[in-house]
Amino acid sequence: MDVRLSPEQQALRDSAAQVVDRLGPSAVGQLDDAERVDKLDAAVAASGWRELRTAEDTRAPLASGVEAAIVADELSRGLADVPYLGPTLAAELRRLAGAPPATSSETVLLDARLSALAPVVAGAPVPGAVAIDAHGMDTALTVVAGDGGGTLASVALQPVDQRTDLTRPSAVPVASATAVVPGDPGRPLTDDDLAAWTALGLALTSADLVGTMRGAVELSCEYASSRRQYGAAIGSFQAVQHLLADAFVAMEGSRSVALHAAWAVDALAPRDALAAGAVAKAYAARAALGVCETAIQVHGGIGNTWECLAHVHLRRAMLSSDVLGGAGANLQRVLVHHGIGDADGLR
């Protein structure tokens, strides 16, 4: 056992950090700077990070869940407002099915609560489904259930006005669109394939939550060190210090479970990887809400205004938390893995 990042993994982390520190939004106003967003998108595209889970000749992914999670964590810390989670999860579905990579930008299609892949029927319209992380996306991928396993299906997307996560807009299927099985959908996806896919989704969203928490704690510590009341920086008061210490500790615990979940994606059998992902996600989803709420609290009145980045972290956490289930759904998965409760909780 040695769970330290390898030198290559540290280099990957550093390069993701550099990109997002240079081109990510450092103020709420910059979220509308289309030129900056295009530059960040180009830098992420050029890095190849969205292809980490595409298949090599052997069907194995180009990089493990650990590398994919390192990128998710860093991009989230810097509130990267370009796609990563969505296209990575779409690529993983194609890899597991043995289908060729997408020819245009593609994300995944989930149910309205984002708790699982959207249930669809081939050739039928897709009401109530939501494509996540859909900035600039043409299509979204999901799975048609069948007797022999799941088959990939794709729907065309249109933008939607409603936006909770300000860094990752959703999209919805075009009103008249139906789910279309691609020309080469690969082989049917088994329950184990879908468990492995969910395990990656839980690992990446957990890493994303860790990154959001890190960013929120950094932002809040900077503010607490500069904002003065009663003639002193508010960060010198124990009441504020203890809020921030608890936030940091919650982030560190989340980091330990998220790291394990990322390793488990490729190192453990699908059901065990799913259980590792569920532990991480239950812990990190619960922690992230509290940490981001603390960030708003420490910023006081300013924290409740649109211009403060604290709510951008919270909103990002709200999306990452809901994708493939938050604290409750994943606590249920953990219990089922330990032989308690309804086995349906495993899906």
Partner 1 sequence: MDFGDSGDEADFRLRLRAWLEDHNPGLPTSSTDDEYWAGMAAWHQSLFDAGFFGMSWPRAIGGQELPSVYDVILDEELAAAGAPPRPSLGYLVEGILEHAGKDVQQRFLPGIVNGRDRWCQGFSEPDAGSDLASLRTRADRDGDEYVITGHKVWTSYSDEADYCLVLARTDHDVPKHKGISAFAVPMHQPGIEQRPLRMINGITKEFGEVIFDEARVPAADMIGAPGDGWPLAMTVVSHEREPGELGFAGRYTKLVKQLTGRVRAEPSAYDAEQVRELGWAIVEAEMLRLHVCRRLSDRLDGISHGPEGSVDKLLMTQAEQAVGHAALAIGGAGHGDGDDTWSKVYLYSRAQSVMGGTSQIQRNLVARRILGLPG
Q: What are phi and psi of 48, to 5 degrees?
A: 80, 10
Stretch that binds partner 1, among 26-34, 198-206, 229-237, 317-325 (CB under 8 A): 229-237
Q: Does 11 bind partner 1 (CB under 8 A)?
A: no
Q: What DSSP designation does 5 have?
A: P
Please enumerate in sequence order all residues whose Cβ is within 8 A of that of 192, keeping only pairs 6 or more positions apart, or say none.
270, 271
Name the token pair of 306. Answer: 């649109």
Tell whether residue 304 is a contact of partner 1 (CB under 8 A). Answer: no
Residue with tokens 């009663």: 230
Instruction: Provide Rg for the chain, Cα atoms.
Output: 20
d(CA 259, CA 306): 33
253 lies in the site for partner 1, by CB under 8 A = yes
Residue list 266-285, contact with partner 1 (CB under 8 A):
267, 279, 282-283
The binder of partner 1 chosen from 245, 269, 302, 304 (CB under 8 A): 245
User: Nearer to partner 1 by C-beta: 23 or 298?
Assistant: 298
Residue 1, interface with partner 1 (CB under 8 A)? yes
Q: Does 263 bind partner 1 (CB under 8 A)?
A: yes
The interface with partner 1 within residues 196-225 (CB under 8 A) comprises 217, 221, 224-225
Please report how close the Cβ of residue 231 comes to partner 1 at its closest, in angstroms. Answer: 12
**Burial category of 264 from C-beta neighbours within 10 Å (exposed 0-12, middle 13-18, buried 19 and up):** buried
Footprint on residues 39-68 left by partner 1 (CB under 8 A): 66
Burial of 201 per CB tally in 10 Å (0-12, 13-18, 19+):
buried
Site map for partner 1, 64-103, x if CB under 8 A? --x-------------------------------------
- 166, 259, 289, 314: which one contacts partner 1 (CB under 8 A)? 259
Stretch that binds partner 1, among 3-11, 30-38, 52-60, 162-170 (CB under 8 A): 3-11
Distance CA 343, CA 194 (A): 15
340 binds partner 1 (CB under 8 A): yes
Q: Please tell me whether residue 310 binds partner 1 under the rule CB under 8 A.
A: no
Q: What gap in Å lies between CA 292 and CA 232, rounded to an integer?
A: 24
Tokens at 111, concatenated: 């149910």
Q: Does 260 bind partner 1 (CB under 8 A)?
A: yes
What tokens appear for 245 in the block?
């210490």
Beta strands 139-144 and 171-173, pairing class: unpaired
